């Protein structure tokens, strides 16, 4: 079972004040890159794994999706999502992605933003998602980049020229990583990039796109602080799909 | 045009003494992992891009390949490969992978080991390789991992616990990297991992496997120095294939 850090009062309070939680999707610099990876949404049945406050669920419906099922481990998240949503085609449910069950061939798109690094058994979850999608169905997700989360002490250092530099160690040693982020001992699971992609392939997905988010020059002009994102990849963005000829 | 560092006398002299050049494939710790990614070789027409002394070309023929075309930019490499090979089904040619032309639908397998980081226009080369392969053809290659080659000063440092740590900066800034390796100013080209994979997908390949080489416990027992390869990925191993239904 995944750690439910989001219901920790300190964590929830800090997390709720992140620009991306206050402003929604437009507060996330990687959002334009994610948007470019999404398929046509009109009429689609969508599941959002780790839906948080429901920003993406409501946006997807605004793009014409037929229905959205938003799942999150955090009761506080789900309560707030429900309070912020007036749309009978969006349903929110508390769910642990480490034990998740989904109906088979029930969705056209599975979406997840910055959630899977909390999941212990990613290969299991990917198989559940694969079965829940119809042939030609899409799976688009973001996850903390393994380069960002591998090290024992993941924080900026300086190289001999004083340049912002990110340390990497323990990259091949997969498993638990504890960090302090709004709360002590937030539990994440490190997997190599190859492990993440091979789990998709093993489950029957075809890889469509692999992006390592970097800000555009325009974004850096607007928000100079984003330039540090050129130094090391913080987020991995993946799109995959179920081949049209896949067995159902 | 790629830099022809391999014909530099100092470089060639140092390089020729690497275990993998003296002992051949068994001298490369990643060889078992590569081997596991190769398709059945019997009867296959193979092209080896950056064939060096011809170790892989001769091994592939020993596994029953019908023919092997070995290509390398270095005249010294090709001369030595020819001198070491007595097999009329293996041909060696000098070729620059940045301007390479290959016959269409002429090969079943394209193979390359630790060469593509010298190639400036990888997307062009991948399109040439795609056209040179038949449907169901395989493309298996290794390349320096972008995490290994991104930084301005790519060498071991220590973290606050004294642990071997690898520095990363400039990851999103693709292009030239100069390093000193047997000679001054060896020219390599950094690309993000996503860029490498997306170039394959854009050319019509399907991704089959993505591995980031790490030594096995047995390998570390035999060669304790290899344990540092657990700290950061040095090599990326990729297998891709042309779908059976692909247009020729």
Summarised one tens digit per residue, pLDDT across range A146-161 is: 999 999 999 999 999 9
DSSP-based three-state secondary structure for A121: coil
Distance separating alpha carbons of residues B32 and B48, to the nearest angstrom? 18
- Interface contact flag, B211 A194, Cβ < 8 Å: yes
Closest CA to B242 of B146, B154, B139, B170: B139
Better pLDDT: B9 or B75: B75
Closest CA to A129 of A145, A114, A108, A115: A108
Better pLDDT: B246 or A216: A216
Which CATH number does the domain A5-19+29-241 belong to among 3.40.50.2300, 3.40.50.150, 3.40.640.10, 3.30.1490.190?
A: 3.40.50.150
Kindly state the helix (H) or strand (E) to which residue A132 belongs, with its residue range: helix A122-132
Residues of B in contact with A232 (CB under 8 A): 168-169, 171
How far is Cα of residue B5 from the mean position of the Cα atoms in its chain? 16
Inform me whether the C-beta atom of residue A226 falls under 8 Å from chain B C-beta atoms.
no
User: What confidence tens digit (pLDDT) does each residue in B160-188 have?
Assistant: 999 999 999 999 999 999 988 878 888 99
Taking CA–CA distances from B208, the nearest residue in chain A reads: A201
Question: So what's the pLDDT on residue B248?
Answer: 60
User: What confidence tens digit (pLDDT) does each residue in A106-160 have?
Assistant: 999 999 999 999 999 999 999 999 999 999 999 999 999 999 999 999 999 999 9
What contacts 24+ positions apart, CB below 8 Å, involve B156-159?
B156/B228, B157/A157, B157/A167, B159/A151, B159/A152, B159/A153, B159/A167, B159/A169
In the predicted model, what is the mean pLDDT of residues A232-248? 91
pLDDT at B21 over 90: no
Inform me whether the C-beta atom of residue B147 falls under 8 Å from chain A C-beta atoms.
yes
Residue from the list B168, B197, B206 with its beta carbon closest to the beta carbon of A147: B168
- Interface contact flag, B230 A173, Cβ < 8 Å: yes
In the predicted model, what is the mean pLDDT of residues A201-206? 98
Supply the ipTM of this predicted assembly: 0.95
Residue from the list B164, B198, B210 with its beta carbon closest to the beta carbon of A209: B198
- Interface contact flag, B197 A210, Cβ < 8 Å: yes
Residues of B in contact with A169 (CB under 8 A): 159, 163-166, 231-232
Q: Are A184 and B171 in contact (CB under 8 A)?
A: no
Q: What is the CB neighbour count within 10 angstroms for residue A216?
A: 12
Closest CA to B210 of A199, A147, A197: A197
User: How confident is residue A248, by pLDDT bands cut at 50, 70 and 90?
Assistant: low
- Number of A/B CB contacts below 8 angstroms equals 126
Closest CA to A37 of A163, A106, A140, A111: A140
Question: So what's the pLDDT on residue B1?
Answer: 64
DSSP-based three-state secondary structure for B146: helix
pLDDT at B90 over 90: yes
Among B143, B169, B190, the strongest candidate for a mutation testing the A interface, having the largest count of A CBs within 10 A, is B169
Question: So what's the pLDDT on residue B137?
Answer: 98
- Do you know the residue count of chain A? 248
Q: Are A71 and A95 in contact (CB under 8 A)?
A: yes
Instruction: Tell me whether residue A180 is exposed, middle or buried, using C-beta atoms within 10 angstroms of its C-beta: 0 to 12, 13 to 18, 19 or more.
Output: exposed
Q: What is the CB neighbour count within 10 angstroms for residue B174?
A: 16
Which CATH number does the domain B28-144+191-214+236-242 belong to among 3.30.2090.10, 3.40.50.150, 3.20.20.480, 1.20.1250.20?
A: 3.40.50.150
Q: What are phi and psi of A133, to 5 degrees?
A: -95, 150
Distance separating alpha carbons of residues B214 and A194, to the nearest angstrom? 11
Closest CA to B26 of B2, B50, B1, B62: B62
Domains of chain A by residue range:
5-19+29-241
């Amino acid at each position: 079972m995944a750690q439910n850090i989001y219901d920790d009062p300190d964590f929830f309070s800090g997390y709720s004040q992140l620009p991306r939680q206050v402003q929604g999707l437009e507060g996330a610099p990687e959002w334009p890159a994610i948007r470019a990876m999404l398929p046509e949404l009109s009429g689609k049945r969508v599941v959002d794994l780790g839906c948080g406050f429901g920003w993406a669920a409501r946006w997807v419906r605004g793009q014409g999706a037929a229905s959205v099922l938003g799942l999150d481990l955090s009761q506080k998240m789900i309560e707030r999502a429900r309070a912020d949503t007036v749309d009978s085609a969006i349903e929110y449910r508390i769910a642990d992605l480490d034990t998740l069950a989904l109906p088979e061939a029930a969705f056209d798109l599975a979406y997840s933003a910055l959630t899977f690094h909390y999941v212990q058994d990613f290969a299991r979850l990917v198989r559940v998602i694969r079965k829940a999608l119809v042939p030609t169905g899409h799976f688009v997700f973001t996850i903390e980049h393994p380069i960002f989360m591998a090290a024992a002490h993941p924080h900026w250092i300086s190289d001999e020229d004083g340049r912002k530099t990110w340390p990497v160690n323990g990259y091949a040693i997969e498993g638990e990583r504890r960090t302090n982020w709004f709360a002590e001992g937030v539990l994440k699971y490190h997997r190599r990039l190859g492990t993440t992609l091979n789990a998709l392939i093993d489950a029957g997905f075809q890889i469509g796109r692999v992006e390592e988010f970097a800000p555009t020059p325009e974004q850096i002009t607007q928000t100079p602080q984003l330039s540090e994102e050129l130094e090391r990849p913080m987020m991995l963005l993946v799109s995959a799909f179920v081949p049209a000829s896949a067995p159902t």
